[in-house]
Amino acid sequence: MFMMLAEPSLDAPMTGTIRTLIVDDEPDIRLLLRVMVELFDPRVRVIGEAGNGEEALARVEEFDPEVIVLDQRMPGLGGIDTAARLRHAGSHTRIILCTADLTVDIRDRAEQVGVDTCLSKIDIDRVPAEIIRLSTLDP
C-alpha cells in the first residue's frame, strides 16, 4: 500500500549521497528531474540516466542506484515491466513511478510489482522530497 507523502525532514540522519537513476524517454524531462533533485538537496546525486527500460536495467547493474525515478510509458520496456524485472532479480532499489497518465489500474499494477511510490507528472515537483523520504526507509 502506498503511503501519504509528507515533507521530508532535512534533519533526518543520512550519510553520504543518495545515488539516483532517472529513466524517461523524454530528454527534457530527464534534464528537468536532474536539475530539480540536485538543487533540492546536495545529498542527492544523479548517477545516470536512461531513455527506456532496457537501458535502465543495464544502468542499475552498472551504477547500483539507491533510488530510481521511472517513467511508465516508454518505447520498448515500460516502467512497470522494468520494475517487475528489477524486483524479480532481487533488487531492493527504491522505485518512484512518475507518469503522465496515472490511473488506478497503473497504481495497482505498480504496487503489485513492488514500486514504492507512484506520482503523476503533474506532481513532478514532489519527486525530490520523495527521493529523500525513500532513502531514509529500511530496505
Which CATH number do you get for residue 27? Answer: 3.40.50.2300
Expressed in angstroms, the distance from the first to the final Cα of the chain is 16
Residue 1 lies in a domain: no
Burial readout 92-104 (b: 16 or more C-beta within 10 A, e: otherwise): ebbbbbbbeebee
Domain count along the chain: 1
Would you say residue 113 lies in a domain? yes
Residue 55 has pLDDT above 60, yes or no: yes
pTM metric for this prediction:
0.86
Cβ atoms within 10 A of the Cβ of 120, count?
A: 16
Residue 4 lies in a domain: no
Q: Is residue 27 part of a domain?
A: yes
| Residue 106, domain extent | 18-135
56 domain-assigned: yes
The answer to whether 118 and 2 are in contact (CB under 8 A) is: yes
Could you tell me if residue 11 is inside a domain?
no
Residue 13 lies in a domain: no
Q: What is the per-residue pLDDT across 103-137, written as a single tens digit (0 to 9) for each? A: 999 999 999 999 999 999 999 999 999 999 998 87
Amino acid at 73: R
Is residue 109 in some structural domain?
yes
